[in-house]
Amino acid sequence: MEKVVHFGPGNIGRGFFGQLYYESKLETVYVGVTKEKIQLLNKYRQYPLVVMDADHVKEAKEMIIKNVRAINISDLQKVEEEISNAYLISTSVGAKNLIHIVKPIVKGLKRRWENKEYSKINILLGENMVDTDIYFKELLVKELQDDHLINMLNEYVGIVDTSVERLVPNMTKEMKQGNPLKIYAGSSYDFPVNKYAFKGEIPRIKNMILLDSFQYYKTRKIFVYNSLHAVVAYLGFVKGYQHISEAINDHHIRYIVYCSALESGKALAKEFNVSFTETLDKINSMIERLRDPDLDDTIIRVGRDPLRKLSDNDRIIGGAKLALKHRILPLNLCLAAAAALHFRVPTDNLSNVMQDMIDIGGPEEVLEKICKLQSDSILWGLILGYYEIISKGYKIF
């Protein structure tokens, strides 16, 4: 049985990639940091996955994902060994954590080449970030340093951006009853990937969709679907909700969320010269999924790391800039950005960093350094205006 080394045995790692690989008759070796999870995966070599019904009725299908084991990322020698004879490498560690997995991957690639293993291998990147492949290759090149090794990377390693569109909620203690490895997931299971990024034979993976126009699909995922999710979280936080399903069932929030997705979705359709109809259907479908309490998540988890989510080419500001480019005034995205600037959670370090920036230099500090906005831009004025309205306690939504 051929083997995949997957970095990140979290919600997406087990709730999406695990099923893909199991049903593709591949063994999955997870690389993680949580000792308890690693021990449990090695003890049972399987875990239950509960796939929620597509129609959101109270029905679900539980399946057992087998052929799994795990190693700790701190055990570099084992990670190196597993990569040295792997069929495939993949990730779902979160964009900000990609930098932490570069060294073990490079060590594994070097071991392959030292062993005269020159078969081509692909790295599938399951991260919520525009141009993840470009960013990750830059990290690999920086770690390799040597020109000969960089040439080897270019010849033998495919760095493949992907779009993970399955909804996997945060797991509560109640959901884990009976098995701490249990994971829940939505029924959506397609796996769009960049067709032209592979090196050598394309891996045989169930439900993988090879796209010619991948950039549109990936950008749509970030600027529309991920943006929609973040907008719910930040608006919900301002209104004091705890859960995503509570916030999206507030009809004022739901309207703003819908309109924000229209702003970025229409802009994307214009940018790539494609029909908006399919995107509109998916927006409606996603809003309905978020209303389902069986696939619920917390406001704090979805909203965490606001500095990244407010960065210039990410889900809110990126979509707003694209909308403005196509002469669509992104009023709702700007309102969401203003709400995000109020996100303050003691357990989220990056929200604390953002609030420190605001305390010292005002919200303008974030708009300039994180959002990369100019003080004379329309977005600057709109976001600051909404920020002041929220700060003064006016009920804008």
Please state which CATH class domain 3-212 belongs to.
alpha beta
Beta carbons within 8 Å of 66's beta carbon, 6+ residues apart: 22, 45, 46
pTM for the whole thing? 0.88
Percent of the chain topping pLDDT 90 = 83
Q: Where are the alpha helices (DSSP H) in 115-222?
A: 132-144, 147-156, 214-220
- Report the CATH architecture of 216-391: Orthogonal Bundle (1.10)
Give yes or no for residue 171 having a pLDDT over 80. Answer: no
Residue 295 CB neighbour total at 10 angstroms: 19
Q: Please compute the mean of the pLDDT values over residues 176-195 and round it to a whole number.
A: 88
Give yes or no for residue 55 having a pLDDT over 50. Answer: no
Percent of the chain topping pLDDT 70 = 98
**Domain-by-domain residue ranges, the chain?**
3-212, 216-391
Answer whether 187's CB lies under 8 Å from 51's CB.
yes
d(Cα 55, Cα 53) in Å, to the nearest integer?
6
Integer angstrom CA distances of residue 108 from 9, 120, 144: 19, 13, 12
Strands 88-91 and 27-32: unpaired
d(Cα 388, Cα 136) in Å, to the nearest integer?
38
Give yes or no for residue 199 having a pLDDT over 90. Answer: yes
Q: Please compute the mean of the pLDDT values over residues 169-188 and round it to a whole number.
A: 82
Q: Please compute the mean of the pLDDT values over residues 154-159 and round it to a whole number.
A: 98
| CB hemisphere CA count around 364 (13 angstroms) | 8
Which pLDDT score, from 0 to 100, does residue 175 have? 74
Q: Fold identical between 3-212 and 216-391?
A: no
Which pLDDT score, from 0 to 100, does residue 53 have? 67
Which pLDDT score, from 0 to 100, does residue 60 have? 74
Q: Which of 314, 146, 302 lies closest to 218 in space, CA to CA?
A: 314
pLDDT digits (tens, 9 = 90+) for 290-307: 887 777 789 999 999 999
Give yes or no for residue 43 having a pLDDT over 50. Answer: yes
In the chain, count H helices and then E strands.
19, 11
Q: Please compute the mean of the pLDDT values over residues 180-209 and round it to a whole number.
A: 92
Tell which wins on pLDDT, 278 or 324: 324
Which pLDDT score, from 0 to 100, does residue 166 have? 86
Which pLDDT score, from 0 to 100, does residue 173 have? 74
Longest CA pairwise span in the chain (Å): 67
Q: Predicted confidence band at 355 (pLDDT cuts at 50, 70, 90)?
A: very high
